[in-house]
């Protein structure tokens, strides 16, 4: 057995009238990116198996009955792909509109916002948001109210702040399943969360909706790392946002190596005003593939204990005292 594999054969296809050759096994999304034609994605991540649920990356493949998700569909020789046809634009627009009418997308990436503008999305056309309900976690399958059609149902539910490290705001959850994959078989294998409920009542939940400290959660933060909407957020970011002090423009990201065990995980320290406010890891590094453990993710406090607390320290200390 050898470490080296022979390079796979190239497959040639046409994307928006341009010929492109990519290695066999590539996805249409890979091929698009190869020629600099980016596509929107929300449920896709380079470190996870595609689950094809968000549908914002769909493209038209000539001869195909329906639009296909570009993030998972493998290229085939002679394939003719259109990423900007009327059908594609319409589908993406409606998907974004449906999501935005039901889910708080206020913290999605700027690139998603740009795609929504590109397609002229008008989520308001489904009507004003229905009054917030606080019972999503308790709904039983089949117990639906019939929508009136005058307001848009939402996934609103109260923010869950039940531990010192994570905050879960499922009003921002688009059910992309990435957190479930990361907590489960694709990375952490802890299985603390899963999808509960069916249809519009489906939501991400711990077993029986217990608070995180009573669940199997081990606080690796690998779910937060893959969340595309900031429904899952580090407590530090949440508290600083609440205090109006979260400022990515003033943050510097420095890559270093974790100070704990000898595995050698790369840490991206997000630093604002000489304080670490968030820790991530690069998706494309062979050691972590974006994943960390509780020590790497949160174990940095010891380097910022200080006799002269900064405003950031004060906000976070208050939150610690509350929890």
Partner 1 sequence: MTVLGAGGGTSSYEEIENTDLILLWGSNARNAHPIFFHHLLKGLRNGARMYAVDPRRSESAQWADVWLGIDVGSDIALANAMAKVIIDEGLHDREFIERATTGFDAYAEKVSEYDLARAEQITGVPADAIREVAIAYATAPTAQLCWTLGITEHHTASDNVLALISLALLTGHVGRYGSGLVPIRGQNNVQGGGDMGALPNRLPGFYDVEDPEARAKFEAAWNASIPPKRGWHLTQMFEAMAAGKLRGLYVIGENPAQSEADAVHAVEALRSLDFLVVQDIFMTATAELADVVFPAAADWVEGEGTVTSSERRVQRVRPALRPPGEARTDIAIISGLARAMGVDWGDPTAEEIWDELRSLSPAHAGMSYRRLEELGGIQWPCPDENHPGTKFLHARLWEEEVKDPAPFIPVDWVPPVDTLTDEYPIRLTTGRHLDGYNTGVQSSGFDSPLRTGTTLDISPEDAERLGIVDGEVVRVVSRRASVTAPVRIDPEMRPGLTFMAIHYPEQVDVNKLTIEAWDPKSGTAEFKATAIRIEKL
Residues forming contacts to partner 1 in the complex (CB under 8 A) are: 1-3, 163-165, 185, 187-189, 212-213, 217-220, 252, 254-266, 269, 271, 274-276, 282, 285-289, 291-296, 298-306, 320, 323
Q: Which is nearer to partner 1, 27 or 281 (CB)?
A: 281
Q: How far is the CB of 316 from partner 1 (least distance, A)?
A: 10
- Spatial distance between the Cα atoms of 87 and 313, rounded to a whole number of angstroms: 51
Q: Which is nearer to partner 1, 234 or 246 (CB)?
A: 234
- Spatial distance between the Cα atoms of 111 and 74, rounded to a whole number of angstroms: 24
Q: How far is the CB of 298 from partner 1 (least distance, A)?
A: 5
CB-neighbour burial class of residue 153 (10 A; exposed 0-12, middle 13-18, buried 19+): middle
Distance of CA 13 to the CA centre of its chain: 30
Q: Which is nearer to partner 1, 87 or 261 (CB)?
A: 261
- Spatial distance between the Cα atoms of 133 and 153, rounded to a whole number of angstroms: 10
Q: Which is nearer to partner 1, 127 or 299 (CB)?
A: 299
Q: Which is nearer to partner 1, 48 or 91 (CB)?
A: 48
Identify whether the C-beta of residue 294 lies closer than 8 Å to the C-beta of residue 225: no
Q: How far is the CB of 50 from partner 1 (least distance, A)?
A: 17
Q: How far is the CB of 144 from partner 1 (least distance, A)?
A: 35
Q: What is the DSSP string of 46-77?
A: TTS-----S-TTEEEETT-SS-EETTTPBP-T
Calculate the alpha carbon distances from 178 to 44, 49, 122, 204 in Å. Answer: 8, 9, 26, 10
Q: How far is the CB of 308 from partner 1 (least distance, A)?
A: 9
């Amino acid at each position: 057995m050898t470490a080296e594999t022979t390079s796979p054969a190239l497959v040639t296809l046409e994307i928006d009238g341009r010929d492109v050759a990519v290695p066999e096994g590539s996805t249409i999304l890979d091929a698009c990116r190869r020629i600099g034609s980016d596509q929107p994605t929300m449920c896709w991540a380079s470190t996870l198996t595609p689950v094809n649920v968000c549908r914002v990356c769909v493209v038209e493949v000539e001869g195909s009955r329906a639009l296909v998700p570009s993030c998972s569909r493998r290229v085939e020789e002679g394939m003719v792909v259109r990423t900007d046809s009327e059908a594609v634009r319409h589908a993406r627009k409606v998907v974004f509109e449906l999501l935005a009418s039901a889910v708080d997308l206020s913290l999605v990436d700027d690139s998603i916002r740009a795609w929504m503008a590109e397609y002229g999305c008008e989520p308001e056309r489904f009507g004003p948001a229905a009054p917030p309900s606080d019972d999503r976690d308790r709904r039983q399958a089949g117990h639906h109210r019939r929508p009136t059609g005058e307001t848009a149902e939402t996934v609103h539910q109260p923010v869950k702040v039940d531990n010192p490290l994570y905050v879960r705001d499922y009003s921002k959850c688009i059910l992309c399943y990435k957190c479930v994959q990361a907590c489960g078989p694709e990375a952490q294998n802890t299985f603390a969360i899963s999808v509960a409920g069916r249809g519009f009542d489906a939501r991400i939940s711990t077993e029986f909706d217990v608070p995180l400290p009573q669940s199997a959660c081990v606080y690796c933060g690998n779910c937060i790392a893959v969340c595309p909407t900031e429904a899952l957020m580090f407590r530090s970011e949440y508290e600083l946002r609440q205090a109006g002090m979260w400022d990515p423009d003033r943050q510097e990201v420095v890559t270093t190596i974790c100070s704990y065990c000898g595995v050698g995980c790369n840490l991206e320290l997000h630093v604002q005003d000489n304080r670490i406010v968030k820790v991530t890891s690069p998706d494309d590094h062979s050691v972590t593939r974006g994943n960390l453990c509780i020590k790497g993710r949160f174990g940095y406090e010891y380097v910022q204990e200080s006799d002269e607390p900064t405003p950031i320290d004060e906000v976070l200390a208050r939150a610690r005292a509350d929890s």
